[in-house]
Chain A
Amino acid sequence: MSAIAEPTGVAKTPTSNPSKSRRSMAWLGILPFLIFALLFLILPTLNIVVGAFQNPAGEFTFENIQKLLQPSILASYWISIKISVASAFLGCLIGFAIAAAIVLGGLPAWVRSPIMTFSGVASNFAGVPLAFAFLATLGRLGLVTVLLREGFGINIYAYGFNILSFWGLTLTYLFFQIPLMILIITPALDGLKREWREAAAILGANGFQYWSMVALPILWPALLGTFALLFANAFGAVATAYALTGSSLSIVPIVLFAQIRGDVLQDPHLGYALAFGMIVVTIIANTLYLWMRARSERWVKS
């Protein structure tokens, strides 16, 4: 802009000079945000990460990480991962089926809006109340349990079902996982062009071939990405599990919760390692998510 009047030596990089000085000032504009993020997000997390590699004397060590390999802690991670995978997988599957029914299934158009609204609400129904809802429904005295027992003579608890278990928790998590999947995947399904399906059909493909060679590969990054998001979502959740099962199901967040409250592991630094392990798992899941999302968006751009 102002480069016209300047000597040629400066004009060679006309915007760099003024913008550099302005940037150094402008940088101050987001200083409050950066300080806030540093104080309440980044430093606390780093503190845990560093603590995971320190012994009580403050020296560097891998000992805490090694202690994670003890059977009881490995078992916690394992059941946590199992529940997260199960609820994410089922959430994806069922959410996909419902979204596909809305978008492609020839349902009347009016069903869509209430489902999307409900999904927006239900994806936020996590936490303590959700546990209560499932206890009231599938607990020993819950509506469905009683109905099945008295109406159909089926005692689900006699069949080994327990709401305070792996499957009980998974079933409960699905209540927010499915809506989240619907919210994310519906726009992706909308993005499938009718012409792709028709082009495939006219080239001789049947429905299965269209889905396996065209639609699913196109949706694949979005599906996998959503899976990763749902996984992280379930993996870090504490409140629902704690309110539902107390400490009876020792998933990682609950072990960590108990550790923070009362140092049940009798080793504060093992607590840091436990938390560090959680970060690692969710970072892996989310890196996958971001990577996949970037890939899926590159295709859609076409």
Chain B
Amino acid sequence: MSFWRSKRFWSWVALSFGVLYFALPLIGTFEFSLRMKRGEYSFEAYRVILGDPRFQATFLYSVLMALLTIVVGVLLVVPTAYWVRLKLPRWRPVVEFITLLPLIIPAIVIVFGYIRLYNTSSVLPLTGSAFGTDILMVCGYTVLALPYMYRAVDTGLRTLDVSTLTEAAESLGAGKITILAKIILPNVLVAILSGAFLTFAIVIGEFVFAALLNRPAFGPFMQLIGANRAYEPAALAVIAFSITWLCMGLMQLVTRLQKHTQVKPFR
């Protein structure tokens, strides 16, 4: 069989096509971001962006939102997933279905519901104050992160023998909170971390919630710059992609670390 007609050849064709399609926008963005000064490549666009006080403010705000989302998500998901595994296996389909709902219901619909449900004339007028809206944002982001977070943690718990661990700890006199904090949490730390990095990547550039709830987050800032400037958006895109890349890299790293160093007490 000649190489030109072989499977290998067409595989390379498909792969090259893919590499080209994915590399070009990345290269293009980077190249564009360097073009701000006429006639030469420079990091001028980055300097302008990084020096923009609005960048600093919105970025910090989004980082804070992301961190809060992770905390709320962990506090919500870990005990629930643990409890469902331990005591409520019958509830699993229900809980799992709820955690998958955010993949089905578009984010824009959810935030629309928030605006209706928590407006200033409602029982719980969260949108009335900046602080209330921030709470709403964190809750919304937690909802967005729910499918990923729950799946990561639940998968992590599956590899543990939750009930044996719990019984062992209880026989030593540990309470439920202690068990969660001292035994379950460290054991699913890797799962939590990988869920957390993904959450961070999702929240940091999120646009719809922040834009519609009118909060000064990084996503709407990027959109604003995009609508008004030429080269800075490309620099922003490079920055945002780098953050995503970093998050996913860290996620892979912790997963690998776990594979190599994990102690397997039951084998």
Q: Which of A102-130 contact B (CB under 8 A)?
A: 102, 104-107, 111, 115, 117-118, 120-122, 124-125, 127-130
Q: How many angstroms between the C-alpha atoms of A101 and B105 in the bound complex?
A: 34
Q: Which residues of chain B come closer than 8 Å to A40, judged between CB atoms?
A: 110, 114, 136, 139-140, 142-143
Query: Which residue of B is nearest A131, CB measured?
Result: B226
| A interface: dominant SS | helix
- B32 A142 Cβ-Cβ under 8 A: yes
Q: How many angstroms between the C-alpha atoms of A243 and B208 in the bound complex?
A: 11
Q: How many angstroms between the C-alpha atoms of A42 and B99 in the bound complex?
A: 11
- A106 B8 Cβ-Cβ under 8 A: yes
Q: Which residues of chain B come closer than 8 Å to A33, judged between CB atoms?
A: 76-77, 79-80, 95, 98
Query: Which residue of A is nearest B246, CB measured?
Result: A121
- B88 A26 Cβ-Cβ under 8 A: yes
Q: How many angstroms between the C-alpha atoms of A2 and B87 in the bound complex?
A: 18
- A22 B87 Cβ-Cβ under 8 A: yes
Q: Which residues of chain B come closer than 8 Å to A141, judged between CB atoms?
A: 32, 230
Query: Which residue of A is nearest B239, CB measured?
Result: A129
Is A249 close to B, CB under 8 A? no
Q: How many angstroms between the C-alpha atoms of A188 and B251 in the bound complex?
A: 23
- A271 B28 Cβ-Cβ under 8 A: no
- B76 A36 Cβ-Cβ under 8 A: yes
Interface size class of A (residues with CB under 8 A): 35 or more
Residue from A142, A235, A275 within 8 A of B112 (CB atoms)? A275
Is A27 close to B, CB under 8 A? yes
- A129 B237 Cβ-Cβ under 8 A: yes
- B202 A124 Cβ-Cβ under 8 A: yes
- B219 A238 Cβ-Cβ under 8 A: no
Residue from A37, A121, A134 within 8 A of B98 (CB atoms)? A37
Most buried by B among A47, A120, A133: A133
Q: Which residues of chain A come closer than 8 Å to B77, judged between CB atoms?
A: 33
In the complex where A40-B140, A143-B28, A253-B106 touch, is A129 in contact with B113 (Cβ < 8 A)? no
Q: What 1/0 flags go to B211-241 for Cβ under 8 Å of A?
A: 1100000010011001100100110110011
4 tightest CB-CB pairs across the interface, nearest first?
A44-B113, A105-B11, A236-B106, A137-B28
